Amino acid sequence: MRVHIDRELCIGAGECVLEAPAIFALDDEGKSTIIATQDTREELLWAAAEACPALAVILETAEGDQVYPQ
């Protein structure tokens, strides 16, 4: 599972940080950024993605196929 943030969509709500603070943080612009590639357990990535009100947390398979949002 791979994750990235669509910074155009991110509104800085911080839900992803609350769900997975070891993976996401808000940067100087108040937008989410990936801070860790460790501990990227799928359940944490899914929780963060589903909590994001802007659908800005993008999940992809290792092959690069987008699985969320669909």
Interface with ligand SF4 (CB under 6 A), residue from 1, 34, 47, 54: 54
HSE, CB side, 13 Å, CA atoms: give it for residue 36: 13
Scanning 13-21, 33-41, 61-69 for contacts with ligand SF4 by CB under 6 A, the matching segment is 13-21
The verdict on 3 binding ligand SF4 (CB under 6 A) reads no
The verdict on 10 binding ligand SF4 (CB under 6 A) reads yes
Nearest-approach distance from CB 38 to ligand SF4, in angstroms: 19
**Cis before 21? omega within 30:** no
Query: Are residues 23 and 59 in contact, defined by beta-carbon separation less than 8 angstroms?
Result: no
Cα–Cα dist 21/5, whole Å = 14
Nearest-approach distance from CB 58 to ligand SF4, in angstroms: 9
